[in-house]
Amino acid sequence: MKSLIKKDKIRQRISSLARKISRDYKGKELVLVGVLKGGFVFLADLIRQITLPLEIDFIQLASYGASTTSSGVIKVKKDIDLPIAGKDVLVVEDIVDYGYTMDYLLQFLADKKARSVKLCALLDKPARRKVKVRIDYRGFKVPDKFIVGYGLDCDEKFRNLPDIAYLEK
């Protein structure tokens, strides 16, 4: 395992994202939707630095297909509970790689009549992108490696690492 992004750099970038989100959503009815499981650590740190009233909910999705590629077929395992019609929704995701899941999720939430739906992703892995997805608030671009730590896992392990790392083959 090799370190990619240290916890201090993560903390600084989250602070910057929170300031921008706080400015952009001032006076709006903001709902943050965390994508389980990987996005929970990022969401927890992000909300503590956003200086606005907000609501939080969670969604869990599954993408079926081969272990290293996504088929693009998405299933909602746990839907949000809060009504979002007429509200501004910010999806908080750990990593965007192929784009299938986020493309599906952004449309799924828009169909619930949200006033706006935007995406905040800690990590962007553009080398793998198959579907174009707009990331409104981006933490870091990462190389095409298997990323773990800070909420991201490999077979449910490594989520608790404070840094972002990648697994060597």
Which DSSP symbol is given to 82?
S
Helix boundaries (H) for 55-113: 100-110
With contact defined as beta carbons under 8 Å apart, do 150 and 118 qualify? no
Give first-to-last CA distance, the chain, whole Å: 9
**Could you tell me the CA-to-CA distances from 168 to 2, 95, 106, 144, 147 in Å, in that order?**
7, 18, 32, 12, 10
Length of the chain equals 169
Catalytic option among 97, 103, 111, 124: 97
Active site residue 88: no
3-state secondary structure of 97: coil
3-state secondary structure of 13: helix
**Would you please indicate which residues are annotated as catalytic (active-site) residues?**
97
